[in-house]
Amino acid sequence: MRLIVCEKPSVAQAIAAVLGARERGDGCIRGKDWIVTWCVGHLVELAQAAAYEERFAKWRLEDLPILPERWRYAAAQGKKKQLDILRRLLSDKTVDSVVCATDAGREGELIFRLVYDFCKCSKPVHRLWISSMEDTAIRDGFEKLRPGADYDSLYRAALCRSQADWLVGINSTRLFSCLYGATLNVGRVQTPTLALLVEREAVIAAFVKTPFYTPVLDLASFTASGEKMEDRSVADAVCSVCDGKDAVVREIKRQDKNTAPPKLYDLTTLQREANRLFGYTAQQTLDYTQSLYEKKLCTYPRTDSRFLTEDMVPGLPTLVSAVAGKLEFLPARLPLPVNAGQVINNNKVSDHHAIIPTPTMGKANLDGLPAGEQSILHLLAIRLLCAVGEKHSHAETVVTVECAGHLFTSKGRTVLREGWKAAEQAFRAAFKEKPQEDDADGGRLPELFEGQAFSSVSASVREGFSSPPKHYTEDTLLSAMESAGAEDMPAEKVNCPTGAREATLGCAERKGLGTPATRAGIIEKLVKSGFVARKSKQLFPTEKGVNLIAILPDTVKSPQLTAEWEHMLGRIERGELADAEFMRGIADMTRSLVSAHAAPDQAHSAWFARPAPASVGACPRCGSAVIESKKGFFCSGRDCRFALWRGNKFFTSKKKEITKPIAAALLTEGRVFIKELYSEKTGKTYDATVVLEDTGQYANFKLDFERRGRS
C-alpha cells in the first residue's frame, strides 16, 4: 500500500479520483492500492524561541543573538489533528512507501519533508512532479515518479530559507524592538522591500520639477517640433523668426519595424499585468490562479519561467484552438497561427514551465467562475494566443522640416500587419482597456514628398515640465523586487540536462527579493504590519515604515545583500553550494548585527516612544510591575521569570482564559472567584475560587470550594 501526501484537500481529491480511491476515511481517501491524505499548508513549523530556553519568552537585549545549535520543530497552531492523522498513516504497517505529492516547488518540498521527519518516518519516498492538475498530467506523473532523494538539494534550499528567515526575523525584530521600545518587525525580505518604497518616496519628495520649452510649427495637417530648450527666451526667439515664414520638407525617412510577440506569463509578470489592468493585488492574483490550477483550468502558478518545453510542441495547436474557442470577444475569422518556436526553450525552464491554460478550458463552463478567476483565465488565454502569433509590423516615418534656418521633426506610424496585436486589441476592447502608446497608430502623417513647401506657417512654444518618478504600484514594486540587486550578480551559464523541467536542479537564475511564490505574501505582510498603506493601486510607506528604515543598518535593509542571499539559495538548490556554508554566513551576520547595536540612536528614539504600559499588579516574587502583553502577563523585572500565560493549561482545561481582571485579582488578592468553570470529567460547569500558588519557579493554581462566595 502506498501513502500519497498532498498539500491541500482539493488536490488530494483530484488525485484520488484519478487513482480510483473513493472510500472516505478520517483525514484521508482510501483505494485498493493507495491511501491519499493531505496537509493543510504547513503542519510543522520552526519552534518559538521559548522552546529552546524559557528565558527567551521575554524580549531582552542580553539574550541576543539567539542561535539554536539544533533546530526544534512544533505542530503548527490549530493543525495538530491533521498532523496526528498523518503520523498514524505514516506509521501504518500496511503502508510500505510514501509519495510526496505536495506542490512541486521549494515550499511544497519543505511542507512534506518537515512532516515526514517530525513523524520519524523512514519508509521509502518517491516524488510526484507535475505542472497541471488535469487527469492526463496526473496519470503521466505517477508513471514517472522519481526517487525522493533526487530532490534533497531542493529541500536543503527550502530549509535554509526557513531557518535564515527565523534567525534574521527573531534577532533583528527583538534587537530593534528592545532598543526603541516598540514592536518593529524586521524580515530578511520584507525589510529591503520596504526600503525600496521608502527610497522611492524620498526621491519623489526631493524632486524639483524644471520647465522645458519646445518650438512647434503648425503645418495645417500635421505639426513638427523643434528641440527642447531650458531657456524660454531662446524658444521664443526661434518662434519669432519662424512665425509666418515658409517651411520646406527637407527629408523623409521611412523604416519598417517588427514587434515580436510577448513571452508567456510567469507568476510575477501575471501579477503585474493583473494589477495594472484590473487592480488586483499580487496576493489576489496568486489566489485566483491557484484556484484555477486546482480546477484544472491552468498549469502550476508558482513558476519563474516564461517558456515551455519541447515535449509540449505537439499539443500546442489543439490547445490554441480550444482556448480561442472560449474567447467570445475574438473576431470570427481571426488567424490563429501557432509558431511554437517562439515559446519553446528547455534551457529557460526550471521547476515549472510558463503558466498557460489547459485543454480543460475548452470544455469547461466558464460562466460559473468568480469574476476574478475569469479575468485571470482570460489573461492567460490571450497571452498564449499572442505568444504563438505572427510578428506585428508597422512603418515608422520621420519627416524633417526646415523653416528660417531651423529644423523641426514629425513622426508618423502606419500598421502594415496586425499580427499578434489583433488578438490583444480585441481583448483590450472587450475589457475597455485603452491601447498603450506604443500600440496606437496615432501620429499618422499625410502623403508628403521631399521639397514640398508650406507657406506662412504658424509657430508657437509648447511648455512642459520634467516629471518625478511615479509612486510604486504592486505592478512596479513586483518588477523592482524581481530585479533588485541583479546588476551586482555574477553572470551565470548553466547547462541544463534533457528533461530539465522534471529535474530537481533548476536552471533559471533566482535573483531579486524573494521568489515568485513569496513576493505577494511579503507585500501583504508589510501592509498588515502597518509599514505600508494602499491607496487605490499605489503603495506608500507609512510614517512607521519610514522611521523603521531610517534606524536600520544596510545589513538588513539592503536589497542587494538580500538578493545575493536569494541567489545563494538558488545555488544550494542546484547543488553548487553547501547549506552549512550559507547558514554560517547568516549566523555571522546576525552576531555582527547584535554586537554593533548595543544602544539606540538617541536622535531617533523619540520616533517610537510610547507611554509605559500600565501595571496590572505587583509581582509576587520580586515586587516589580506585572505588564500585559499579547500572550499573557509578565513581570517587568529584568531577572524575574514570573508569568501568567493566557494559554495556561489549568485555565484552558476549564475553557477559560486569564483576562486582565482575573490577572489583577490574582496579583492583588491571590485568588479570584470564577463562574461556569468546565469539568472535563462530567462535562458540566461549576463555580469556584481559583487560588494562585507561586512556587518561585512556577505559577500554579488550585480550586477552593469553601470560599466560593468571595471574589
Q: Write the class of the CATH domain 211-260+393-420+432-465.
A: mainly beta
Q: Which residues contact 681 (CB under 8 A, 6 or more apart)?
A: none
pLDDT at 498 over 50: no
In DSSP notation, 139-197 reads: HHHHHT-EEGGGGHHHHHHHHHHHHHHHHHHHHHHHHHHHHHTS-----TTHHHHHHHH
| Cell digits of residue 365 | 463552463
Q: Give residue 351's pLDDT.
A: 74
Q: Is 377 strand, coil or helix?
A: helix
Spell 365-385 as b/e; 16+ CB within 10 A means b: eeeebeebbebbbbbbbbbbb
pLDDT classification of 264: cutoffs 50, 70, 90: very high
18, with CB counted inside 10 A (0-12, 13-18, 19+), is middle
CATH 2.60.40.10 fits 267-387, yes or no: no
SS3 491: coil
Count of CB atoms within 10 A of residue 88's CB?
14
- Work out whether strand 615-618 and strand 625-629 pair parallel, antiparallel, or are unpaired: antiparallel
User: Backbone phi, then psi, for 346, in 5-degree steps?
Assistant: -55, -35
Residue 34 CA to residue 1 CA, distance in Å, equals 6
Give the H or E element holding residue 110.
Answer: helix 106-118
Judged against a pLDDT cut of 60, whether residue 550 lies above it is answered with: yes
Listed range (32-46, 137-151, 337-351, 527-541) with the worst mean pLDDT: 337-351
Residues constituting the chain: 711
Same fold, 211-260+393-420+432-465 and 267-387: no
CA distance linking residue 251 with residue 274, whole number of Å: 43
Position 456 confidence tier, pLDDT thresholds 50, 70, 90 = very high
> Span 145-168, mean pLDDT?
95
Quote the pLDDT of residue 19: 94
Q: What's the CA gap between 215 and 239, in Å, rounded?
A: 6
Is the CB of residue 213 less than 8 Å from the CB of residue 232?
A: yes
pLDDT at 614: 84
What mean pLDDT do residues 193-207 have? 95
Percentage of the chain surpassing pLDDT 90?
75
Amino acid at 451: G
**Which residues lie closer than 8 Å to 567 by C-beta, 6 or more apart?**
485, 489, 509, 510, 511
Identify which of 655, 661, 666, 657 has the alpha carbon closest to the alpha carbon of residue 694: 666
**Three-state secondary structure string covering 231-294:** CHHHHHHHHHHHCCCCEEEEEEEEEEEEECCCCCECHHHHHHHHHHHHCCCHHHHHHHHHHHHH
Query: In 298-396, which ranges are continuous DSSP H helix?
Result: 316-324, 371-387
Nearest to 219 by CA among 240, 202, 201, 242: 242
Q: How confident is the model at residue 707 (pLDDT cuts 50, 70, 90)?
A: low
Question: Taking the model in full, what pTM does it have?
Answer: 0.77
Mode of pairing for the β-strands spanning 538-541 and 532-535:
antiparallel
pLDDT of the residue at 430? 85
Higher per-residue pLDDT: 190 or 503: 190
Catalytic residue positions? 300
What is the pLDDT averaged over residues 673-680? Answer: 92
- The region of weakest confidence among 194-208, 265-279, 333-347, 381-395 is 333-347
- The pLDDT tens digits of the residues spanning 424-450 come to 999 988 876 655 544 444 468 999 999
Task: Say how far apart CA 336 and CA 313 lie, in whole Å.
Answer: 15
Cα(692)–Cα(699) distance, integer angstroms = 7
685: helix, strand or coil: strand
- Give the model confidence (pLDDT) of 594-633 as tens digits: 999 988 776 676 677 666 678 999 999 999 999 998 889 9
DSSP for 514-540 reads S-TTTHHHHHHHHHHTTSEEEETTEEE
What the block records as the C-alpha cell of 574 is 542546484
Indicate the pLDDT class of residue 528, thresholds 50, 70 and 90.
Answer: very high
Sign of CA dihedral 316, 322, 323, 329: positive
- The residue-averaged pLDDT of 351-372 equals 92
Residue 120 · residue 540 · CB < 8 Å = no
Residue showing cell 499585468? 273
**Nearest by Cα to 457 from 679, 221, 689, 673:** 221
Cβ-contact 157, 510 below 8 angstroms: no
- Which contiguous run of DSSP H or E holds residue 567? helix 559-573
Query: Mean pLDDT score of the chain, rounded to an integer?
Result: 89
pLDDT digits (tens, 9 = 90+) for 101-120: 998 888 999 999 999 999 99
- Phi and psi at 223, nearest 5°, equal -120, 155
Three cell numbers at 710?
Answer: 468571595
Give the distance, in angstroms, between the CA of residue 169 and the centroid of all CA atoms in the same chain: 17
Q: Which amino acid is at 256?
A: D
Q: What is the mean pLDDT of residues 341-362?
A: 91
C-alpha cell at 649: 493549561
- Report which DSSP code applies to 645: E
* 562 — pLDDT class (breaks 50, 70, 90): confident
Query: Phi and psi dihedrals of 189, rounded to 5?
Result: -110, -40
Residue range 10-37, pLDDT digits in tens: 899 999 999 999 999 999 999 999 999 9
Could you state, in order of their start, the residue ranges of all structural domains in the chain?
Answer: 160-203+470-606, 211-260+393-420+432-465, 267-387, 615-704
Residue 451 reports pLDDT greater than 80: yes
pLDDT higher at 449 or 563: 449
Residues 6+ apart with CB under 8 A from 79: 40, 41, 42, 43
pLDDT of 501 > 60? The answer is no
- The CATH superfamily label for domain 160-203+470-606 reads Topoisomerase I, domain 2 (1.10.460.10)
Please determine, for residue 301, whether its predicted confidence score (pLDDT) is greater than 70.
yes
Range from 272-281, 512-521, 539-548 carrying the lowest mean pLDDT: 512-521
Non-local (6+) Cβ contacts of 280 within 8 A are 271, 274, 288, 372, 375, 376
> Which residue bears the cell 538578493?
563
Least confidently predicted of 226-230, 329-333, 402-406, 671-675: 329-333
DSSP conformation letters of 334-358 = ------GGGTB-GGG-SSS--B-B-
DSSP letters, 35-67, are EEEE--S-SEEEPPGGGT-GGGGS--GGG----
- Measured at the alpha carbon of residue 134, what is the angle toward residues 133 and 137, in degrees to the nearest 5? 90
Number of H helices and number of E strands within the chain? 21, 25
Does residue 563 come out as left (phi exceeding 0), alpha (psi in the -120 to 50 range) or beta? Answer: alpha
Share of the chain above pLDDT 70, in %: 92
CA atoms of 14 and 20, how far apart (whole Å): 10
